[in-house]
Chains A and B, each alone.
Chain A
Amino acid sequence: MNCQRFESMLADALGDELSPDDRSLFDGHLASCDGCHREYDADRQTIDALKKLPGPEAVTMERVGPRVFLSPLSETPRPGFTTTARRSAFRFAAAILISFTTGYALHAGLMMDRAVEDPTPVISAVVASAETHDTDTLASALALVHQRNPARSDLAKCMIAMFDGSKN
């Protein structure tokens, strides 16, 4: 193959559209012609330099009425509570409940109310359910606290109502 033929194939070579047969002819001439080799190498480096201009990260496009919002995918918030936010809310609620239940148990002990059963199993159930995010066990523990001391568990009623609401 001569240099003229090589030149006619250059655009396809630089555009990565050479057929396999043409590719072998092209490479063969490259190996044997220093001049064409230098030209091709300089062109290839130019294209590589052009490719160095980085593109943006992927964006999402959302249309709300007449307005279009473009946001990078990494920053697109998910609708509603995220799993992380849900877990944080659960832990916060569990911490309040544990504090309440522990305080209640201590108060019941100080009042020497024989009708109150040992609250330790209830507290253990609350702590266990908080660690495992088991809302059903937690709700049951709350209900048990309320059942045993209905007159003193207004806060428990509120907590039960709150968890019933979040499950829905």
Chain B
Amino acid sequence: MISANVMVPSDSTAAGDFDRHSRDVYGWAYRILGHHHDALDVVQDVFLKWTKQCSRSHPREARGWLRRVTINRAIDLQRAKRVKTVDEGGLEDSANHTARDESALTETDAGALRTDIVSALDRLTEIQRSVLVAKIYDEWTFAGIADELGLSVSTVKTHYLRGVRAVRDRLRPRWSLEYAT
């Protein structure tokens, strides 16, 4: 039985906001970490930050705040757990991976891909990370993301494209992605 026993703040508004988004918090953390218990640890950490934040001022957009903090915390945790370090821009081994063919990914490859993706996300700005996660995993529209983050639609699109390109450049050395030479 995998469950989280998370203390919820007594303030009803803050508690209600956390209730509404707790599954999403868990989902975002799980995407980054790929492990239930680690994701639950992040849920707990994010809750603590949420209570501290709400004791000062309630964020205008709870979901956007929670997404940003959850991703940051999950990446921090993943970074701390990483055993192997990868040289900056270098090849860890001579194996050539193809990210396109999902069926070809062994469990080792899947783990390596996750590590590289999280490493790539770590190098993005917070806004780029939030936009990418909201667009790719939450499947929000650009207009919806713009509204949540208080940005223009064109700015969101720019962050999205730059984020994708940054991740692409990070994955390129180890994963066969076609790119313009």
Q: Name A residues whose Cβ lies closer than 8 Å to a Cβ of B.
A: 10-12, 14-15, 17, 35, 38-39, 41-43, 45-56, 59, 61, 63, 66-72, 75
Contact = CB atoms under 8 A, between A and B. Distances in A.
B99 A49 contact: yes
B141 A17 contact: yes
A17 B142 contact: yes
Task: Determine which residue in B5, B30, B164 has the highest number of CB atoms from chain A within 10 A of its CB, and name it.
Answer: B164
A46 to B, nearest CB: 4
Given A14-B160, A49-B171, A51-B136, A70 B117 contact: no
Contacts of B141: 15, 17
Nearest to A45: B177
B157 to A, nearest CB: 4
A55 B3 contact: no
Nearest to A41: B178
Contacts of B31: 53-55
B135 A15 contact: yes
Interface bracket on B: 35 or more
A11 B22 contact: no
B2 A53 contact: no
A52 B4 contact: no
Contact of A50 (B18, B26, B132, B172): B132
A42 B27 contact: no
B2 A75 contact: yes
B69 interface: no
B178 A38 contact: yes
30 contacts: A11-B161, A14-B161, A15-B141, A38-B179, A38-B180, A42-B168, A42-B177, A42-B179, A45-B100, A46-B167, A47-B136, A49-B99, A49-B167, A50-B167, A51-B136, A52-B105, A53-B114, A53-B137, A54-B31, A54-B34, A56-B26, A59-B23, A61-B22, A66-B7, A68-B4, A69-B3, A69-B5, A70-B3, A70-B22, A70-B43
Contacts of A45: 99-100, 168, 177-178
Task: Determine which residue in B3, B102, B113, B117 has the highest number of CB atoms from chain A within 10 A of its CB, and name it.
Answer: B3
Contacts of B161: 10-11, 14, 43
